[in-house]
Structure 1
């Protein structure tokens, strides 16, 4: 039996940071995002021997674990092994993983891979998990089981796909799909430039700093988070109305608010790239993810988009083509020996459900 999964990466336009504890529980968060045609991939095939073999192209790791060690979530490939532990998978399998964007890219690649792994085990073991359950389980594995710092938006973006306004509170998460006219989506693509800054950076230190600034009530930290929430709702309004120039200018306002929320999110090198883009005709932009590196998104006058792209490349960036996609995580069987997947055992089902 062979199972394959692909989960789309996302572009977060505004609201990142408001989905991070403790702001989320105390004030509620909101994020505007969309999935793109860049993916995290996972494959699983059965093997006659016990234990699990995992190959990850992104981390250049090829590891084998016996049944007595695969559920230990310390060391390499801890995220993958934490998913296996939740599902109590003790059969002999080979798992192969790769992604279209490296970890630390700002496109949500780590959380998207976690969703891909949850979907992979769900498909293989024959569990019914809805999109909300998959997203929440992936969040729990990352943030609670492993203690990885971060927000809550990426798991939901990967599970649901498309353009969404996602609302977060202590009680629940609500995904609101946006009904955009097709021409608005195509026109938005026509105005956007996605540029790799040439560097990646783990987000954990940046998120720790953001949370500490919030807890210490440092000047501007709370106000900036409130402003990002307000701008997120304005951006949503601009999108559904097809007012794209207004959307581009709001991106610039959000860029400034993010710097106020966390000054370390936009280092000098990225600030310089952003200045180059603005001077060449970009109306606004966004450093994706927690910041510090990864991808920079720019909204441009379509007549100047080629000038912005050329200037970014000359300044050391790398412009990358992309398109928006309207689907979330997808899974399929490549081959079935018995015609249908095996049922999941009650023990594994008990472990896999979100708490």
Structure 2
């Protein structure tokens, strides 16, 4: 029996960064995000050779170990090994023998939550293989703890919950790692119009989000007024954009994205750079009404709201730059697993 899983990547519309401790612990965080038709995949093939095989197909890396309960975290495919270590320890699985193959539709550090989504997909595959009953909150919490605590990777909480639950969600974050996921029931025509008017553009460069997030955390601890005020405004924007989607006031989306991008750049150094600014200016001059970088900033994917049939003009304007327009659709389904 072979086990497969997949989990969707996400676009962060508003509130990004307010899910990161200590801000979420002290002030509470709010985020609006939506999952899209780009995925992280995991396949587990049970073995009897007494070996553990890890194969990252997109990174073109492969490592093999003797079967054991705890694998060394040495900088090579630690994300995969970290999930294995935690699953074995948490659920008393003992040393296993298998091959784990993974693939992600977007590069690491691209701002779509790739690392967290991959962790969710791997957890799902292990849970199905070992018949471990995990609910959606259980999977997302476990993914968060593996990344943030076991592997000490800086970041927030939204990506794990988006990948697990799927759909368009308004999320709330509080102290003691409390998370509330509120699925939004948005009229189909509003979702279709939003999808039709968005351009997703890969800048051609990834970034190490943890560095930007570390600066953000430091600014919160130091109570830097400019940074905190920007985060307060971003949090309010998550509520404002949620209301706009629920009531069909899509003409305000672009402006809200633009305001959010201005606030986000005040949170920490390195969120924007001259190339990102050039991309943004070209899109605005071609008719988009606002946009932002998806994720922590510094590179990766950007997306723009382009109403009144300006989408093709924006795509054409971005065509002369290094980078790529990526087609996508919104998806409702989160983590799924199956056997073959």
Q: CA deviation at 1:219?
A: 4.0
CA contact (8 A) 2:7 2:121 kept: yes
Instruction: Report the TM-score when normalising by structure 1.
Output: 0.92
Tell whether the 8 Å contact from 1:51 to 1:70 is kept in structure 2 after alignment. Answer: no
Matched residue, 2:252: 246
* 1:303-323 deviation digits (Å, cap 9, x = unpaired): 211111111111323111100
Q: Matches of 1:284 and 1:91 in 2, distance apart? A: 50
Runs of 4 or more off by more than 6 Å in structure 1? none
CA distance in 2: counterparts of 1:202 and 1:59, whole angstroms:
16
SS in 2 for 1:18: coil
Query: 1:77-156 counterparts in 2 under 5 A?
Result: 77-88=77-88, 89=93, 90-156=95-161
Aligned partner of 1:195 in structure 2 is 201
Residue among 331, 340, 347 paired with 2:337: 331
What is the match of residue 212 of structure 2?
206
- Mapping of 1:1-355 within 5 angstroms? 1-68=1-68, 71-88=71-88, 89=93, 90-171=95-176, 172-334=178-340
> RMSD between aligned alpha carbons?
1.1
C-alpha displacement at 1:69, in angstroms?
A: 7.5
Asked whether the equivalents of residues 190 and 302 of structure 1 are also in contact (C-alpha less than 8 Å), the reply is no
TM-score under structure 2 normalisation? 0.96
- Cα deviation, 1:102-147, whole Å, max 9, x if unaligned, reads 1001000000000001101100000100000000000000000110
8 Å CA contact retained: 1:52, 1:70 = no
Unaligned stretches of 5+ residues in structure 2? none
Please give the alpha-carbon distance, in whole angstroms, between the structure 2 residues aligned to 1:223 and 1:231.
12
Does the Cα contact within 8 Å between 1:195 and 1:297 map onto a contact in 2?
A: yes
Name stretches of at least 5 consecutive residues in structure 1 with no aligned partner: 335-355
> Any conservation in 1 of the 2:43–2:102 contact (CA below 8 Å)?
yes
Contact 1:196 1:319 in 2 (8 A): yes
Aligned length: 334
Q: Secondary structure at the match of 1:261?
A: coil
1:47-94 residue CA offsets vs partner (Å, 9 max, x unmatched): 121121010023211110112485222321111111111121522101
Tell me the CA shift for residue 260 of structure 1.
1.1
Moved more, 149-158 or 169-178: 169-178
